[in-house]
Chain A
Amino acid sequence: RKEVEQDPGPFNVPEGATVAFNCTYSNSASQSFFWYRQDCRKEPKLLMSVYSSGNEDGRFTAQLNRASQYISLLIRDSKLSDSATYLCVVSSASKIIFGSGTRLSIRP
């Protein structure tokens, strides 16, 4: 079983839609959680950290459920510029593991 699993997509949604991504992780000792965004042929960049209480940054909301070992990302009012691959990231004391990513394409 992979340490971090994501639905690969692709998700193809119209501009203005709300889209949600989910991610599960297997290491219960994981301590830090993040969502990254990766544009085509570019390096991944931090989108937002994920906290147990849930957190919001503009149109983006991240949730963490430690009991179920589950992380989510919600994008509201999606824009064309949101088209990218979204990576779920889990960090423990020893290393950072990336999910394989979920591709999102926003159509006009």
Chain B
Amino acid sequence: NAGVTQTPKFRILKIGQSMTLQCAQDMNHNYMYWYRQDPGMGLKLIYYSVGAGITDKGEVPNGYNVSRSTTEDFPLRLELAAPSQTSVYFCASSYYKFGTGTEAFFGQGTRLTVV
């Protein structure tokens, strides 16, 4: 099992450019998440999804968009990159059913620099 796969691992963007961070999981997890982590700081939830076709905002959604057309994929879109979006982005997934949830499994992260 590959688990959670994120691409790319590294990216440098110019201000105003757009890009999509890819995330795929092969564990048939219903919940997926996007977090960002600034240097020396904790994880902040950007968006999450409880199933295909359902997404919701987290703590810091501004400047990002997501979609969840399949159970496996949860891409994160940056439309107009800004220096404040320089961060490490982690995708994660978990399984939840009937009041019981598994732990979150993480991808290896995407290190994004906006210049």
Query: In the complex, which residues of chain B have a beta carbon less than 8 angstroms from the beta carbon of A57?
Result: none
CA distance A97 to B42 in the complex (A): 11
Query: In the complex, which residues of chain A have a beta carbon less than 8 angstroms from the beta carbon of B109?
Result: 42-43
Chain B residues numbered 92-115 whose CB sits less than 8 Å from any CB in chain A: 92, 94, 96, 99-101, 103-104, 106-109
Q: Check: A53 CB closer than 8 A to any chain B CB.
A: no
Known: A31-B101, A43-B106, A46-B103. A93 touches B96 (CB 8 A): yes
Q: Are A98 and B56 in contact (CB under 8 A)?
A: no
Band of interface residues on A: 20 to 34
Q: Check: A91 CB closer than 8 A to any chain B CB.
A: yes
Cβ distance B90 to chain A, nearest Cβ, rounded Å: 6
Q: Are B101 and A91 in contact (CB under 8 A)?
A: yes
Q: Check: A89 CB closer than 8 A to any chain B CB.
A: yes
Q: Check: B12 CB closer than 8 A to any chain A CB.
A: no
Interface string of A21-38 (1 = CB under 8 A from B): 000000000011010100
Q: Are A43 and B107 in contact (CB under 8 A)?
A: yes
Q: Are B43 and A87 in contact (CB under 8 A)?
A: yes
Q: Check: B31 CB closer than 8 A to any chain A CB.
A: yes
Band of interface residues on B: 20 to 34
Q: Check: B45 CB closer than 8 A to any chain A CB.
A: yes
Q: Are B104 and A89 in contact (CB under 8 A)?
A: yes
Q: Check: B74 CB closer than 8 A to any chain A CB.
A: no
Cβ distance B17 to chain A, nearest Cβ, rounded Å: 24
Q: Check: A1 CB closer than 8 A to any chain B CB.
A: no
Cβ distance A89 to chain B, nearest Cβ, rounded Å: 7
Q: Which of B42, B45, B100, B107 contacts A95 (CB 8 A)?
A: B45
Residues of B within 8 A of A (CB): 31, 33, 35, 41-43, 45, 48, 50, 56, 58, 88, 90, 92, 94, 96, 99-101, 103-104, 106-109
16 additional contacts (CB under 8 A) given A91-B104, A93-B96: A31-B99, A31-B101, A36-B103, A42-B109, A44-B106, A87-B42, A91-B94, A91-B96, A95-B48, A95-B56, A95-B58, A96-B31, A96-B94, A96-B101, A100-B43, A101-B43
